[in-house]
Amino acid sequence: MAERTAAPEAVEAALALLAPRRLVVLGGAGLSTDSGIPDYRGPVAEGRPPRPTPMTYGDFVSGSAARQRYWARSHLGWARMRRADPNPGHRAVAAIDPELLITQNVDGLHEAAGTRRMVALHGRIADVVCLDCRATSPRAALQERMAAANPDWAERHGSVLVRPDGDVDLEDTSDFVVPPCEACGGVLKPDVVFFGENVPAARVERCFAAVDALRPDDGALLAVGTSLTVMSGFRFVRRAVRGDVPVVVVNRGATRGDELATYALDVGCSGFLDALDARRREVRARDAGARVG
């Protein structure tokens, strides 16, 4: 079991391990907190309410009241989330250009930062799917329809606190109007994997293939900004360990993967990723110089 630490010598050792290797990066909500998007399991800022248990798929399909509650709160939260910009951590991941980024986030900020090879494991909050006809559509279009159907909603609830994944701290949603699917009149759902849903098999297989392609002598898995609490992401750590591939975990607070990690670092995501990007640039420059010489 790796000892969770912020010691500079441990950070240096982890950077030295990762810098020359082919990487698969597994990212979580901690990567987006510097963009103003709260996570589910990190430290709660003073003055903020405790984080709620997220809505499950079973809750969402249980009836119209649950969907009304979800969409009323999401309508406010997503309006703020969509204005978030990629932070230095997102940009560093894009510059590092891993063999594959497996992101558990749904905010689309890695795409906005320019990451080339990635799997959005849990989907994207910017898309909407109909549970009846399976038609997909842009969330922005639904946002406009909800605003038209609820013309004073944003003004009446402008001071509510943002929660993770575009949710907000709001209890009374009984008068919110939820538009149906324009194609068939069916039930609309964000095209993301809710708790209680399965990640599509094709996404999982692509991620497993990337991890399996890593070799113990020149590959590594970097898990950053994730507590690895849910099996959805933790399974890739276990897969790497079974292949004797080194695993580095970077997160504020303990994670489920600490006992499997080569290094478990209690440091900030953006700072570590910036340092790793700089170190990898040094390695490339050194290797290019050696080839020329």
Q: What is the pLDDT of residues 46-85, one digit of tens each?
A: 444 454 567 899 999 999 999 998 998 888 888 777 888 9
CA distance linking residue 2 with residue 204, whole number of Å: 27
- pLDDT beneath 50: ranges in the chain: 44-49, 51
Task: Name the active-site residue from 75, 90, 110, 122.
Answer: 122
70-251-20 Cα angle (round to 5): 125
CA distance linking residue 206 with residue 54, whole number of Å: 27
Q: Could you tell me how far CA 178 lies from the centroid of its own chain?
A: 27
44-45-51 Cα angle (round to 5): 35
Of all helices (H) and strands (E), which one includes residue 124?
Answer: strand 123-130
Q: Are strands 100-103 and 22-27 parallel, antiparallel or unpaired?
A: parallel
Question: Phi and psi (nearest 5°) for 122?
Answer: -105, 15
Binding-site positions: 130, 133, 181, 184
3-state secondary structure of 140: helix
* CATH number of the 4-292 domain: 3.40.50.1220
Cβ atoms of 123 and 198 within 8 Å: the answer is no
CA distance linking residue 257 with residue 239, whole number of Å: 12
Query: Where exactly are the structural domains of the chain?
Result: 4-292
pLDDT value at residue 252: 94
Question: Phi and psi (nearest 5°) for 30?
Answer: -60, -20
Binding-site positions for Zn(2+): 130, 133, 181, 184
CA distance linking residue 226 with residue 26, whole number of Å: 8
Concerning whether 122 is annotated as a catalytic residue, the answer is: yes
CA distance linking residue 214 with residue 180, whole number of Å: 45
